């Protein structure tokens, strides 16, 4: 039996997003940020095809016409507008043990705080794996829910962000965190 997934769109001041949840749990499993709905949907489908091929199973993706995801959408829109949210139900469909360990560390970073890729590597007991930590941040399926934007370089630079360094800077600024912009170096 295929995995049943539902999606909805969220709009915010800083970005828009497509949210994908498991139908059986209504927990988020995948988020993509962007501005064009068709592009976000095709990127989600491409990613899900790749993931489910690796999992050797099938999925069905349909729009949330019954509005089952309205609470999740409203909570996520708060994040897109730069406001704190206590908890959004989420779960992982994929990820290596290392990636999941990194994501669990990211969830612990408080609102308005940052840490470094190196510090996360140290906390995981693998101090030389800071590049692997950065790659795990880039593979994050749940941006903002798993706050990879709160991870910066040891020098204080922004590091990277899949959806643009400008958005990362805006998110951190909304959280009251001032960090050095890449362009000011």
**Which residues partner with 116 through β-bridges?**
152
> CB of 85 within 8 A of CB of 31?
no
By three-state DSSP, how is residue 8 classified?
A: strand
CA distance 143 to 146: 5
| 80 half-sphere exposure, CB direction, 13 A CA radius | 24
Does residue 148 have an active-site annotation? yes
- Tokens read off for 161: 């962000």
- Tokens read off for 156: 């204080």
Contacts of range 120-128, beta carbons closer than 8 Å, 24 or more positions apart: 120/151, 124/98
Which position among 24, 47, 89, 148 bears the catalytic label? Answer: 148
CB neighbours (10 Å) of residue 114?
Answer: 19
Give the residue numbers marked as catalytic: 148
């Amino acid at each position: 039996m295929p995995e049943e997934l539902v999606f909805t769109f969220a709009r915010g001041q800083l970005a828009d997003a497509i949210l994908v949840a498991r139908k059986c749990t209504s927990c988020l499993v995948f988020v993509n940020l962007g501005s064009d709905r068709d592009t976000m949907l095709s990127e989600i489908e491409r990613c899900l095809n790749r993931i489910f091929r690796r999992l050797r199973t099938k999925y069905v993706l349909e729009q949330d016409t019954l509005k089952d995801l309205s609470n999740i959408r409203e909570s996520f829109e708060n994040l897109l507008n730069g406001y704190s949210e206590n908890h959004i139900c989420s779960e992982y469909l994929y990820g290596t043990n290392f990636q999941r360990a990194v994501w669990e560390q990211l969830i612990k970073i408080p609102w308005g705080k940052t840490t470094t890729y190196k510090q996360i590597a140290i906390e995981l007991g693998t101090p030389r794996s800071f590049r692997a930590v950065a790659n795990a941040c880039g593979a994050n399926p749940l941006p903002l829910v798993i706050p990879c934007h709160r991870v910066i370089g040891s020098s204080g630079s922004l590091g990277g962000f899949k959806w643009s360094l400008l958005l990362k800077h805006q998110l951190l600024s909304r959280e009251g965190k001032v960090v050095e912009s890449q362009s000011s170096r």
